[in-house]
A and B are shown apart, each in its own frame.
Chain A
Amino acid sequence: MLRKFCIAIAVVVGAAQPLSAADVNPQADAKAFKEYFTKRFSKVPLNDFVNGPYSMDEGLRKQWKAIDEFPPYEFAIEQGKQMFATPFKNGKTYADCFPDKGIGVRQNYPYFDTKSGQVITLEVAINQCREANGEKPLDYTKDDMAAVTAYMAFTSRGKPFDIKIPDDPRALAAYNNGKQYFYTRRGQLNFSCASCHVQSPGDHIRTEVLAPAYGITAALPIYRSAWGGMGTTTRRLRTCNSQVRGVPLPGGDENYRDVEYFLSYMANGLPISGPGARP
């Protein structure tokens, strides 16, 4: 009771107040999160959660398997590979900005940058790389950003999420901000991310089957048939916002970075399945 009171006060006072390990326990959160989903969906093999709605609906899975024989995101992977091979105007390439030349590193994002005190997602890292090399940042939602992150995800396929939260009160605050964002109702329709992805995975929202929140960032970026093209994590978050009649935030917004941080940490151990194909 006292603990809840303290957390409530901390939250009311300000979203990004540094918190101590006593207030925030990501490991306990992740354990509870995993148990909730594995208990509720006991027939789903652990690694299958990253396949989102296909882990929840057999008919949808059959259609996906047929599409995946010849995946619609293959053009994006090719384009991303080409982008990686093409130097910036100053002669440097994306490989110069990332560890391991950017190959097979997607499972480490987002990470907390102790120097800047911010969460760095893969999309943010791409744009920071571009700006550091005299290039204009990319639109966060589709096209080139989707292509380059599709390529990077593809080189990490099968690798388990390995998100770290350093013992730094700012990192814990960012994690907690992401957690708060996830569970907070928003928009005129008054939904939180949890309303659909914790309460109702496997159920329908209009004609779509809802994905479980456990592992939900693993398949991004995705080719969505509904979009007729690729979309990034930012695009998906923005459309979720507008679908509940909430004005979307701009790409790179603190809340989007932090919620991706929270969700990917919850998915630690689950394999990268991106880029994905969705209805």
Chain B
Amino acid sequence: MRNLIRLTVALAVGGFATAALAASADDFKAAYAKAEAASKQAHAHKNEWTTTLGALKAAKAAGDAGKFDEAVKHAQEAEALANASVAQSEEQKKLWPDAVVR
């Protein structure tokens, strides 16, 4: 629940920021690299979300088509989702014993 709130705030803030300036190809490359790095971390936890991969794919497709504003938005969304999934894995490492049937 906490993570969902963090994610919503991150997406809202992210959306607001990119509206101000048009993104360049370099902006997209940087944003995509960050998203990919975060996604790799999630992969290491064996907890990638399908929506993260979907956002990455959308980012790449928009970037390839030269739609850099859209591409950056998707990349930032992918990064946020990947980070949330990593946070989920790390929290769950501590929380799962509480769920065990005793």
A32 to B102, CA, bound (A): 5
Number of residues from A at the complex interface, CB < 8 A:
28
- Please determine whether A188 and B85 come into contact, CB atoms closer than 8 angstroms: yes
Which size bracket describes the interface of B in this complex?
20 to 34
Q: Which of A60-68, A93-101, A244-252, A268-276 contacts B (4 or more CB under 8 A)?
A: A244-252
Pick the 7 closest A-B CB pairs, nearest first: A247-B48, A183-B99, A188-B49, A183-B96, A184-B92, A245-B50, A36-B101
Shortest Cβ distance from A13 into B: residue: B93
- Please determine whether A11 and B97 come into contact, CB atoms closer than 8 angstroms: yes
Instruction: Count A-B pairs with CB separation below 8 Å.
Output: 66
A-facing residues in B75-102 (Cβ within 8 Å): 81, 84-85, 88-89, 92-97, 99-102
Chain B contacts for A4, CB-based, 8 A: 97
Shortest Cβ distance from A245 into B: residue: B50
Chain B contacts for A33, CB-based, 8 A: 101
Chief secondary structure at chain B's binding surface: helix
Task: Point out residues on B near A: beta carbons under 8 Å.
Answer: 3, 46-51, 53, 81, 84-85, 88-89, 92-97, 99-102
Chain A contacts for B47, CB-based, 8 A: 186-187, 246
Chain B contacts for A29, CB-based, 8 A: 100-101
C-beta contact mask, A157-199 vs B, less than 8 Å → 1, else 0? 0000000000000000000000110011111101010100010
Task: Point out residues on A near B: beta carbons under 8 Å.
Answer: 4, 7-8, 11-12, 29, 32-33, 36, 179-180, 183-188, 190, 192, 194, 198, 242, 245-247, 249, 253, 255
